Structure 1
Amino acid sequence: MNIKSVSVLLLFFVFGISTAFAQIKDEREHRIKKSQFPENARLFLHQKLVNARRIRFYKEIDGSKVSYEAKFKKDRLRYSIEFNTDGKLEDIEIEIEPLDIPNDSYSKITKYLEQNFKKYRIKKIQQQYNVDDDNVDETLKNAFQNLMLPSIKYELIINGKNDKGYEQFEILFNAEGQFELIKKALPANYDHVLY
């Protein structure tokens, strides 16, 4: 091999590695103090949450996007409410079980998982209510009543086996069980643990 072909091969190798690393989204979530949560979001939660228990506050960094999440229990269900950095409500999620999804939708979801993974294990399913600026109170009411609406989405966190081995993914489906989005989820950030 001459110098020119080695240079071209090296260039493709470097380009291929940098492209592979660029596809990984660095998403991390860590717990924060209530005082670090956006003030508008704290006021919103204080006004709207009644009978909520175990309220915890989190900051999530997804690439360049930063958001804040409040997680709590209400009426024996686990909720999370996500806000942007300005304290504007983005979505409300409820942790659910597979039995809570209509059979037709769930069969489409499992069909997608079976076609795209050699093996998979569902770790968590969340029913998601996206917030419309005009109907924040209506969306909140629908979420707290756990209504099955055509606008809801299902977010699954799974451990899936593909050619690279087991990896964790977040997959979004619409109310009918149609695939919408997939992204690789990184494991929880344990930087705070001292050994």
Structure 2
Amino acid sequence: MKLTVLDMMKSKNILVLLLLLSSFCFSQTKNEKEERILQKNFPEKTSLSVALIKLKSKRILFYKETNNTKISFETKFKFNKHHYSIEFSENGTLEDVEKTLKKKEIKKLLKNDLNKIETFFNKNYDKWSLKKVQKQYIFYAKTKQHIFINNILKNEEDSAFNFEIIAEVKEKKSYSLKEFLFDNKGNHLSTKNIATSSYGHVLY
């Protein structure tokens, strides 16, 4: 059977489309690997930030993370009865600070001014259950990294944050774990599937 030039062009366009769709789906899946490391293997640029954290918490854990597209570094610790995680880029630039909320705090937020989030889940999924909720503070370069972190620990950066939510959802008779991002008004920003291999460290 002979293929015309038009047929070949159509086949080529379909192939390109499939590759693009495949790339998009891959980028929307959170597939992280986390490795415990020593402080000496942390980027040197984080030294002031780490020194500050050590003044706030007795036990600090250091990690190296790899995902689909990048390498990053993360430190986890507990301060004022809340769990925090702070993420840095491969060269040590601060990316964000995340504060895990307690169940009673989550219920209060959903009941009061964040009913948009609850409405979103009810509208899009048959069933849903929140597994982890964090306040996410994105670093902006107008201040030094350690000062930005200190302001968050002192609750002075509440005006600019997102909600990062890990939830188990049911759709089309199947359950899955997803990561959702909302702004502080409850508007949905993004959704990512979480790979099974990443379940452990994204929940804890």
How does the TM-score come out when normalised to structure 1?
0.79
The aligned residue for residue 158 of structure 1 is 167
- Unpaired runs of 5+ residues, structure 1, are 191-195
Partner of 1:60: 65
Deviations 1:91-137 (A, max 9, x none): 11100030463644421111111111111111100011111112235
Partner of 1:27: 31
Structure 1 stretches of 4+ moved >4 Å: 15-18
Deviation of 1:156 after TM superposition, in Å, equals 0.2
State whether structure 2 residue 151 is matched by structure 1 residue 142.
Answer: yes
Cα distance in 2, alignment partners of residues 147 and 154 from structure 1: 17
Per the alignment, do residues 18 and 166 of structure 1 end up closer, same or farther by CA in structure 2, a change over 3 Å counting?
A: farther
Distance 1:85 1:137 in 2: 17
The amino acid across from 2:131 in the alignment is K
| Matched residue, 1:171 | 180
> Please, which runs of 5 or more residues in structure 2 have no aligned partner?
4-9, 200-204
Q: 1:54 to 1:47 in 2, by over 3 A?
A: closer
SS of residue in 1 equivalent to 2:117: helix
Whether the 8 Å CA contact 1:92–1:128 is kept in 2: the answer is: yes
State the Cα RMSD in Å: 3.0
Q: How far does residue 88 in structure 1 lie from its aligned partner after superposition?
A: 0.8
User: Quick one: which of 110, 133, 142 aligns to 1:125?
Assistant: 133
Amino acid aligned to 1:116: N
The two structures have a TM-score, normalised by structure 2, of: 0.76
Cα distance between partner residues in 2 of 1:113 and 1:147: 30
1:184 pairs, out of 193, 197, 200, with 193
CA contact (8 A) 1:26 1:61 kept: no
Identity %: 26
Secondary structure of 2:196's aligned partner: coil
CA distances 1:153-178 after superposition (whole Å, capped 9, x unpaired): 11000111122721111101111111
Name the SS for the 1:53 alignment partner.
coil
Q: Does the Cα contact within 8 Å between 2:63 and 2:73 map onto a contact in 1?
A: yes
When the two structures are aligned, how many residues end up with a matched partner?
186
**Contact 1:53/1:74 (8 A) holds in 2:** no
Query: Structure 1 counterpart of 2:151, which letter?
Result: N
Separation in 2 of the partners of 1:23 and 1:131? 27
Q: Is the Cα–Cα contact under 8 Å of residues 166 and 179 in structure 2 kept in the other structure?
A: yes
- Paired with 1:147 and 1:3, the residues of 2 have a C-alpha distance of 70
